[in-house]
Amino acid sequence: MSAIEIGTLVWSGYSGLLRVGTVTNKRIAENGWAYFTIEWHDDGKYESVQNYYRSMNPNGEYGLKEYKASLVHPVTPEQLEKFAGSHRELVNQNGTAPTIEIPLVPSSLDEEDEPVDIRL
């Protein structure tokens, strides 16, 4: 994949959320690192989390305005379509999406040591 430039589709992860967006600005800082401004697509869950943080501490600054090159990764629409197509094929073959068992950790037990579902 080539270098990230304005107009490149990129992805990033945030606390288990997959974020996909388009680079709208690129800046090379004095330290030599590239920083990008990104227009994120269908980013409601991330925005909800940031709004919650702001409601808890209105004086805090939440969310990045620019993203260091190491935080974002280029991807093409064709790659995303291929991933989604492969997933649909698997679901159609098996009749259901594969499940992943997530082991419970001690912090996910309530006062009576009963498991608490902490998945999103």
Query: 52-65: per-residue pLDDT in tens?
Result: 888 888 888 878 89
pTM: 0.71
Question: In the block, which residue shows the tokens 């690129």?
Answer: 26
Which residue ranges make up each domain of the chain? Answer: 9-95
**Would you say residue 119 has pLDDT above 60?**
no
Task: In whole angstroms, give the CA distance from residue 100 to residue 61.
Answer: 35
Share of the chain above pLDDT 90, in %: 48
C-alpha pair distances (Å), 48 with each of 14, 40, 72: 13, 14, 21
User: Which residue type is seen at 43?
Assistant: D
Between 26 and 102, whose confidence is greater?
26
User: What is the per-residue pLDDT for 51?
Assistant: 86
Q: Which residue has the higher pLDDT, 65 or 113?
A: 65
